Amino acid sequence: MPDPTVILAVDHLVKSFRIHHQKSNSLKQLIAGRGRNRYDDFLAVDDVTFDVHEGEVFGIIGQNGSGKSTLLKCMAGILQPNAGSVRVTRRMGALLELGAGFHPELSGRENVYLNAAILGMGRKEIALRFDEIVDFSGLHAFIDQPAKTYSSGMYVRLAFAVAINVDPQLLIVDEILAVGDVSFQRRCLEKFVEFRNEGRTIVLVTHDLGSVKSLCDRAIWLERGKAIDEGDPSDLVEAYTERMLGAEAPAADGSVRRGSGEIRITKVEMFVNGSAFAVKRCRTNDDVLLRLYYQAEKTMPQPVVGIEIQSLGGATVTAPNTRDVGMVPPTMWGSGAIDVSLSNVALLPGTYDIHTTVTDFNRALIYDHLREALRFDVMTGKPYETDGVVTMRPEWKLS
Amino acid sequence: MAHRNLLYLLSLKELRTRYKKSVLGWAWSLFNPLSQMLIFTVIFTYVFVAKPLAGDPSGLKNFPLYFLSGLLPWNFFSITTSVAMSNVQGGAGLIKKVAFPHEHLVFSVVAAQFVTLLIETAILVIALFVAGQNALPWLPVVLPLYALWALFTAGIALALSAFNVFFHDVQYLWTILSQMLFYVTPVIYFTDALPDVFVGRVLNNVANYGPTGSYIVAFHNLFYDGRWPTGWLLLQLAAMAVGIFALGMWIFGRLSPRFAEEM
Ligand SMILES: Nc1ncnc2c1ncn2[C@@H]1O[C@H](COP(=O)(O)OP(=O)(O)OP(=O)(O)O)[C@@H](O)[C@H]1O
Ligand SMILES: [Mg+2]
């Protein structure tokens, strides 16, 4: 008996492509090579299984070429899987990889009708929603221009507008946040949230890990076609970024370091309210001093030092760096310490991690990134609030 | 049929985009067969110095009308097959992005070309009338026969455009093949006037009984001769249309799931 809340079930899905040795789509090749054994099978999706439940936002992450788009195309029925199955029980709208199924010679208007027809809508139904679609896309002035004159962002806007206005119960989206401008991205995100609140289901492929963390309820991680992990998006994104950026093995205290290593933060200590003893706990509203010990093997010009305080839940509470306040030293070498003082800490009770980063001035080269350099607890102080991670020191007034 | 609306829109697109950036627009679709007719008439009247055979029983003796009544259906066939191939190829943007029945890319071309054929036929009927031959009584047979011809054409177009996705040579090969097919189809000659030598006899058989030839013979019967095609011929044409269409659908159905990854 299948679980009725599962509205998308991917079951041992396998998709392979034929990689022709000299791809030339020609009869000569067919005749000369007799067509056979002239290709290898390349497994783009390798035995992937997962379920998506009603009302979930489900993320798929993985590096370029890991098979995400292929997987979505199998779900959308564009590619035929070699083995396994995809079961979809609701009306599905799909928006795949940059742009949509548009005919370049047709106008935006004609393409809207064509796409809606492909998605199974009748002419009357489309006419009713046409204005809404154009409104959402914001392309009023261009709607009667041929689609070939559209920019790639405009393509995506129109495609997205169509896809969400055909009333899908399940929306699958591949990488659309990448080309839209900021206002459109925000509108997409709002739409996703709205969809989620309405209890609709979204499957999202994106390299924007921030939105995976904030939007998704669950995620899966693909690597070379295999689903190597599935679960909480924050954990997954964490593990994924670390893998992608080539982290070293965790040290004994659980900290993880990466970076080119010209400068290293060797240790972080915490002092509270002027005390000379390093501690690992404080209270809300204490004055805290963080001391970052560094060691520079070479003289490095204009290094930028930053810290990040993160709650156990994965939220970054604050992440100041020396460049933002104009305190970048011209060079740095040898060893020493940098102090950061934080007065009247607004953190609420809980456990927090401090990560440190040293980069070049453009923050492109990472000399050192130390995760979990220090883990500390915040105890109840003043003010006290049950929920949240920071206090804004609210003053309530009843009137 | 699911996606009927899609087929309608795609056909409309075919009709609309064809002559989009041209001043004379639709008139071009008429100039094409008319100019061909003119060329053939000049060549056969003045270069090869031949005389048209009389239509039996219509008694019509007229090269241009004979040519037109075969050219219109022939052009429908040759244009539809080649445009269908490029339409499927050109539909890559759609095929790779959305799931839909790919055969509609072929059907829409067939439908659009069929509309053109009907308009051209209307003009042919008027021309015949001016020449003293009333073709109206034959239309109830012409139209179903046109439908069979369209079915036959669709079958060939489906198979060709499916193969063409995998091997682009198909479209070049087809340009040559359809040209050869044109000459073994009695569009620009009378089979009765073929010389009684070996090659003439072979050509006579192919032209009269070959797949495309037998259709054109039937259209000549109806338009030029003004008589019923034989019952056997009609039966053969119907069987061929259904058979070729089924074969085309089968081939297309087998290959189309792999279009998206091959394009
Ligand atoms: N039509 C095709 N023919 C052959 N190989 C293909 C085809 N489509 C995709 N592939 C291969 O399948 C693999 C997975 O591709 P896919 O597009 O699914 O990756 P992705 O995870 O979406 O990557 P990205 O993050 O860059 O979008 C790649 O190695 C790609 O080369
Ligand atoms: Mg992709």
| Three-class HEC string of chain B | CCCHHHHHHHHHHHHHHHCCCCCCCCHHHHHHHHHHHHHHHHHHHHHCCCCCCCCCCCCCCCHHHHHHHHHHHHHHHHHHHHHHHHHHHHCHHHHCCCCCCCHHHHHHHHHHHHHHHHHHHHHHHHHHHHCCCCCHHHHHHHHHHHHHHHHHHHHHHHHHHHHHHHCCHHHHHHHHHHHHHHHCCCCCCCHHHCCCCHHHHHHHHHHHHCHHHHHHHHHHHHHHHCCCCCHHHHHHHHHHHHHHHHHHHHHHHHHHHHHHHHC
What amino acid is encoded at A373 in this protein?
Answer: A
Hey, is the C-beta of A301 within 8 angstroms of any chain B C-beta? no
* Order of all β-strands in the sheet with A39-53: A39-53, A6-20, A83-88
User: Which of the listed CATH numbers 3.40.50.450, 3.40.50.300, 3.30.565.10, 3.40.630.30 matches domain A6-243?
Assistant: 3.40.50.300
Structure tokens at A193: 């949230």
pLDDT value for A254: 59
Hey, is the C-beta of B162 within 8 angstroms of any chain A C-beta? no
Q: Is the CB of A306 under 6 A from ligand 1?
A: no
Hey, is the C-beta of A122 within 8 angstroms of any chain B C-beta? yes
Phi-psi region of A62 (alpha: psi -120 to 50; beta: other; left: phi over 0): left
Structure tokens at B240: 């061929």
pLDDT value for A31: 63
Q: Whose CA is nearest to atom 30 of ligand 1?
A: A65
Q: Is the CB of A225 under 6 A from ligand 1?
A: no
**In this predicted model, what pLDDT tens digit does every residue of A38-93 receive, in sequence order?**
677 899 999 999 999 998 999 999 988 899 999 999 998 999 999 999 999 888 88
Q: Report the residue of A78, A91, A144 to disrupt the B interface, i.e. the one with the largest count of B CBs within 10 Å.
A: A78
Domain ranges of chain A: 6-243, 248-379
- pLDDT range class, residue A251, cuts 50, 70, 90: low
- CATH class for the domain made up of A248-379: mainly beta
Hey, is the C-beta of B168 within 8 angstroms of any chain A C-beta? yes
Q: What is the mean pLDDT of residues A86-112?
A: 81
Q: What is the mean pLDDT of residues A360-383?
A: 88
Q: Indicate the range of A83-87, A146-150, B77-81, B164-168 predicted with least confidence.
A: A146-150
pLDDT value for A34: 54
In the predicted model, is pLDDT for residue B223 greater than 90?
Answer: yes
- pLDDT range class, residue B114, cuts 50, 70, 90: very high
In the predicted model, is pLDDT for residue A239 greater than 90?
Answer: no
* Residue B97 CA from chain centroid, whole number: 32
Structure tokens at B10: 């795609």
User: Distance, in angstroms, between B196 CA and closest chain A CA?
Assistant: 39
Cβ partners under 8 Å of residue B48, min gap 6: none
pLDDT value for A26: 60
- Chain A residues lying within 8 Å of B10, measured CB to CB: 114
Cβ of B98 within 8 Å of Cβ of A118? The answer is yes
In the predicted model, is pLDDT for residue B57 greater than 70?
Answer: yes
Q: Report the residue of A23, A25, A162 to disrupt the B interface, i.e. the one with the largest count of B CBs within 10 Å.
A: A25
- pLDDT range class, residue A215, cuts 50, 70, 90: confident
- Mean pLDDT across chain A, nearest whole number? 85
- pLDDT range class, residue B93, cuts 50, 70, 90: confident
Give, in order, the Cα–Cα distances in Å from A31 to each of A28, A36, A221, B258: 5, 10, 42, 21
- pLDDT range class, residue A371, cuts 50, 70, 90: confident
Residue of chain A minimizing CA distance to B166:
A25
- pLDDT range class, residue A262, cuts 50, 70, 90: confident
Hey, is the C-beta of B15 within 8 angstroms of any chain A C-beta? no
Question: What is the number of the ligand 1 atom nearest to the C-alpha of A72?
Answer: 18
- pLDDT range class, residue B1, cuts 50, 70, 90: low
Percentage of chain A modeled with pLDDT above 70: 90
Residue of chain B minimizing CA distance to A173:
B97
Q: Tell me which of A327 and A26 has the higher pLDDT.
A: A327
Percentage of chain B modeled with pLDDT above 90: 62
Cβ neighbours around A149 below 10 Å, total: 11
Q: Whose CA is nearest to atom 1 of ligand 1?
A: B261
pLDDT value for A37: 52
pLDDT value for A252: 54
Respond yes or no on whether ipTM tops 0.90: no
Q: Tell me which of B69 and A248 has the higher pLDDT.
A: B69
Alpha-carbon gap, residue B23 to B5, rounded angstroms: 30
Q: Indicate the range of A47-51, A329-333, A388-392, B120-124 predicted with least confidence.
A: A329-333
Residue of chain A minimizing CA distance to B261:
A79
In the predicted model, is pLDDT for residue A163 greater than 90?
Answer: no
Give helix B211-220 / helix B139-166 axis angle, nearest 10°.
160
Cβ of B93 within 8 Å of Cβ of A103? The answer is yes
Range among A36-40, A104-108, B126-130 rated most confident: B126-130
Cβ neighbours around A225 below 10 Å, total: 24
- Mean pLDDT across chain B, nearest whole number? 91
Give me the count of residues in chain B: 263
Q: Tell me which of B120 and A189 has the higher pLDDT.
A: B120
Question: What is the number of the ligand 1 atom nearest to the C-alpha of A175?
Answer: 27
In the predicted model, is pLDDT for residue A139 greater than 60?
Answer: yes
pLDDT value for B130: 93
**In this predicted model, what pLDDT tens digit does every residue of B187-207 receive, in sequence order?**
999 988 888 899 999 999 898
Q: Tell me which of B101 and A28 has the higher pLDDT.
A: B101
Cβ of B97 within 8 Å of Cβ of A78? The answer is yes
- pLDDT range class, residue A24, cuts 50, 70, 90: low
pLDDT value for A348: 92
Question: What is the number of the ligand 1 atom nearest to the C-alpha of A222?
Answer: 21
